[in-house]
Amino acid sequence: MRKIEIYEVGPRDGFQNIPEYIALETKKKIIEGLLASGVAHMQITSFVSPKAIPQMKDATELTGYLVDKYPDADLMALVPNLRGAQGAWDAGLKTVSYVVSLGESHNKANIRRTHEESLSELLKIREALPDLDICLDLATTFGCPFEGKKYASDAVPFLKPYVEAGVSVINLCDTIGVANPAQVRETIDAVKAEYPDMELEVHIHDTRNMGMVNTLAAIERGVNKVQSTLGGLGGCPFAPGASGNLATEDLAFMLTEMGYDTGINIEKMVELAKYQLGEIPSGKFSGHLLRIQNKNTEE
Ligand code: COA
Ligand code: ZN
């Protein structure tokens, strides 16, 4: 049975869109519930400017608590710069995702950097923290809200200096949910052909109802680790119109039905998604199992 590793990113990609502060205790409950549901890999927060994303102001405290309590869990955080990477490392994380957008306009909107500045910041992180593992989150891999469609022929050369700088994983992100399965296949094949030893992940938003087919296309092209969020909570505060990610419990359901091993307890996860919905009423959720269950509860 082929194992597919689910990489839960809701506590970062989902929570960052919620304007009201989610209490630290609630964040802990959701994250610990995810671990108890069988999630082995999780992006738990981001070390970013609290002016840009106030929700993440508790990153150090939350990370310290989780790293102490779950030393064997594969936990990481998103960072936009050396300061964030240093914060994550000091809080006990061994892995971060460093985000850069293939569309330079989105990079400027999100991280306030040109491509050149993003690369030079990554090199600074490598130099200052050589033992920190870096997953490169390539935002807007398939399309940029400001520049339009992106192609494999844009991504492949763009990645070269990052591969040479020693990033351990490349995460192809469909930040605004515009990819289609043919494009996902083409991009993965092209990246693999050029960088055969690089581990690949995908992070697909469900904005146009293609989260599942695009993630499946990646899996069928050999990607073993895929990102999603509990309940399909998500978006990007700096990408107009971006909506939620593919819902983890829906993805786990499909993969389990197809005979893949995800290690996820789907019932527990749906219960947790319902709890999250209750705690974060202003959140936008795209999960289908969640919708069915809520309807059943109402009837
Ligand atoms: N952690 C905490 N604070 C940070 C920080 C970090 N990693 N990086 C910068 N800051 C603080 C600075 O200290 C400064 O604070 P001050 O105004 O009180 O002096 C402020 O943020 C601005 O810093 P500056 O270096 O001028 O950066 P900037 O204004 O160009 O902002 C980012 C750039 C990337 C730091 C900021 O826009 C950010 O954190 N964005 C988050 C992006 C994000 O998470 N997007 C969604 C995920 S894809
Ligand atoms: Zn995202």
Q: What is the pLDDT of residues 87-102, one digit of tens each?
A: 999 999 999 999 999 9
d(CA 146, CA 222) in angstroms, rounded, equals: 30
Q: What's the pTM?
A: 0.95
CB neighbour list of residue 143: distance below 8 Å, 6 or more residues apart: 103, 149, 150, 174, 176, 178, 179
What is the predicted pLDDT for the residue at 234?
Answer: 79
What is the predicted pLDDT for the residue at 242?
Answer: 65
What is the set of active-site residues?
236
Which ligand minimizes its atom distance to the CA of 106?
Answer: 1
Helix H segments across the chain? 24-36, 59-69, 82-90, 104-111, 115-128, 152-164, 181-194, 211-220, 248-257, 266-279, 288-298
Q: What is the pLDDT of residues 115-169, one digit of tens each?
A: 999 999 999 999 999 999 999 999 999 999 999 999 999 999 999 999 999 999 9
With a cut of 80, say whether residue 36 has pLDDT above it: yes
46 Cβ closer than 6 Å to some ligand 1 atom: yes
* Closest residue to atom 28 of ligand 1, CA basis: 112
What is the predicted pLDDT for the residue at 298?
Answer: 44
d(CA 223, CA 282) in angstroms, rounded, equals: 33
Q: What is the pLDDT of residues 249-273, one digit of tens each?
A: 999 999 999 999 999 999 999 999 9
With a cut of 80, say whether residue 299 has pLDDT above it: no
With a cut of 70, say whether residue 240 has pLDDT above it: no
Q: Facing residues of 41 across strands?
A: 7, 74
253 Cβ closer than 6 Å to some ligand 1 atom: no
CATH number of 5-291: 3.20.20.70
Residue 43 three-state SS: strand
Give me ligand 1 centre to Cα 78, in Å: 12
Q: Which residues of 67-101 are buried (b: 16+ CB within 10 A; e: fewer)?
A: beeeeebebbbbbbbbebbbbbbebebebbbbbbb
Crossing angle of helices 266-279 and 24-36, rounded to 10°: 170
What is the predicted pLDDT for the residue at 282?
Answer: 86
49 Cβ closer than 6 Å to some ligand 1 atom: yes
What is the predicted pLDDT for the residue at 241?
Answer: 63
52 Cβ closer than 6 Å to some ligand 1 atom: yes
CB neighbour list of residue 73: distance below 8 Å, 6 or more residues apart: 35, 40, 42, 66
Tokens of 244: 């939620």
d(CA 223, CA 202) in angstroms, rounded, equals: 8
Q: What is the pLDDT of residues 209-226, one digit of tens each?
A: 999 999 999 999 999 999
In the Cβ-directed half-sphere of 22, how many Cα atoms lie within 13 Å?
Answer: 29
Q: What is the pLDDT of residues 156-205, one digit of tens each?
A: 999 999 999 999 999 999 999 999 999 999 999 999 999 999 999 999 99
* Closest residue to atom 7 of ligand 1, CA basis: 84
Q: Which of 125, 84, 107 is nearest to 173 (CA)?
A: 107
